[in-house]
Amino acid sequence: MTEYSAIFGSPVTTIGIVVKQGKLTGVDFLCKDVSPRKPRDALSREVIRQLRAYFKDPAFRFDLPLNVQGTAFQCAVWDALREIKAGETQRYGELAAHLNTGARAVGNACRWNPLILIIPCHRVVSTSGLGGYAGHTQGEALRRKRWLLTHENARIS
Q: Which of 31, 75, 110, 121 is catalytic?
A: 121
Distance CA 115, CA 25 (A): 7
Query: Please, is 26 exposed, middle or buried when counting C-beta atoms within 10 Å of its C-beta (0-12, 13-18, 19+)?
Result: buried
Q: Is 121 a catalytic site residue? A: yes
Closest to 94 (Cα-Cα) out of 137, 136, 127? 127
Closest to 80 (Cα-Cα) out of 71, 90, 70? 90
Q: Active-site residue numbers?
A: 121
